[in-house]
């Protein structure tokens, strides 16, 4: 796939999938309706089956079976990426994620690893109705052995997906809010300064946005994924209408909670 300037979250994720499948034959993509020309409900998998037909597997409608199959492949040395068409359907694969994929390494005394990524569109505001518009990631936070990652339009969502797929030997739930797909990628916003914290052993970065030339803010807003734009809009409105200067902390790693990074930001904020 030719290298193009990445403009949106969707393009970043799609190009990351192409790059990984081109460079690492262990990467396979599994899910419903992901074959071209359809390329998945939100087109994140577009073009993959045309280029890598033997490593893009279209499945029956059974989220539990999809995640179970991918878990077995991960244990045998593959790097599977599962696409769950809508995040609401994670409930159908909850047992495979919570009680199997995340537990096998311990159950088999660290003789196996499960480098599995389950990526899924999440959230509402797209008109898909009550069973296709929820945000269920909170039900998976704190599950032992499971990483939960939520990209936004800050930084590079594709880089997060590559780190989740190739940089970890553990299951990752990769939550993509639908409202982010068409958003343009930025590092910050006008009038704001962005600090990125990705050290101290943290796998996925935290963004800290604050006003330029303001030494003391009035408060902090914590958010992730699809809420980032709403929080930025609120941040600007509070400044313009109320004279309040709020800072924003944007998490991409929701679980395990990046406690050391959070403490570091709070110490600097105080």
Report the relative pairing of strands 172-177 and 147-149 from DSSP bridges: parallel
Whose structure tokens read 């034959």?
25
CA 49/CA 39 separation, integer angstroms: 8
Residues 10, 157 contacting (CB under 8 angstroms): no
Sign of torsion, CA 48 56 135 168?
Answer: negative
3-state secondary structure of 257: coil
Residue tagged active-site, from 18, 100, 110, 132: 132
Residues 225, 122 contacting (CB under 8 angstroms): yes
Task: Confirm whether 139 is a catalytic residue.
Answer: no
What is the signed CA dihedral for 68, 62, 178, 128, rounded to 10 degrees?
-160
Residues 87, 175 contacting (CB under 8 angstroms): yes
Task: State the catalytic residues.
Answer: 132
């Amino acid at each position: 796939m030719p290298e193009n300037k990445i403009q949106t979250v969707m393009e970043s994720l799609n190009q990351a999938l192409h790059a990984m499948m081109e460079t690492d034959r262990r990467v396979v993509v599994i899910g419903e309706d992901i074959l071209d020309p359809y390329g998945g409900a939100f087109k994140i998998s577009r073009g993959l089956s045309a280029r890598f037909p033997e490593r893009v597997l279209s499945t029956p409608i059974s989220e539990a079976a999809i995640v179970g199959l991918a878990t077995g492949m991960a244990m045998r040395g593959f790097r599977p990426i599962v696409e769950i068409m809508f995040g609401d359907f994670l409930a159908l694969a909850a047992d495979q994620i919570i009680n199997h994929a995340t537990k096998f390494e311990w159950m088999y005394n660290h003789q196996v690893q499960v480098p599995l990524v389950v990526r899924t569109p999440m959230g509402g505001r797209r008109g898909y109705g009550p069973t296709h518009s929820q945000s269920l990631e909170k039900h998976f936070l704190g599950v032992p052995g499971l990483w939960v990652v939520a990209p936004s339009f800050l930084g590079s969502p594709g880089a997060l997906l590559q780190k989740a797929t190739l940089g970890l030997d553990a299951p990752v739930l990769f939550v993509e809010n639908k409202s982010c797909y068409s958003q343009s990628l930025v590092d910050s916003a006008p009038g704001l300064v962005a600090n990125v914290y990705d050290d101290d052993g943290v796998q996925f970065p935290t963004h800290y946005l604050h006003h330029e030339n303001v030494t003391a803010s009035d408060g902090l807003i914590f958010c992730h994924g699809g809420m980032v734009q709403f929080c930025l809009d609120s941040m600007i409105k509070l400044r313009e209408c109320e004279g309040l200067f709020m800072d924003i902390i944007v998490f991409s790693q929701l679980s395990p909670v990046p406690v050391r990074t959070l403490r570091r930001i709070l110490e600097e904020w105080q």
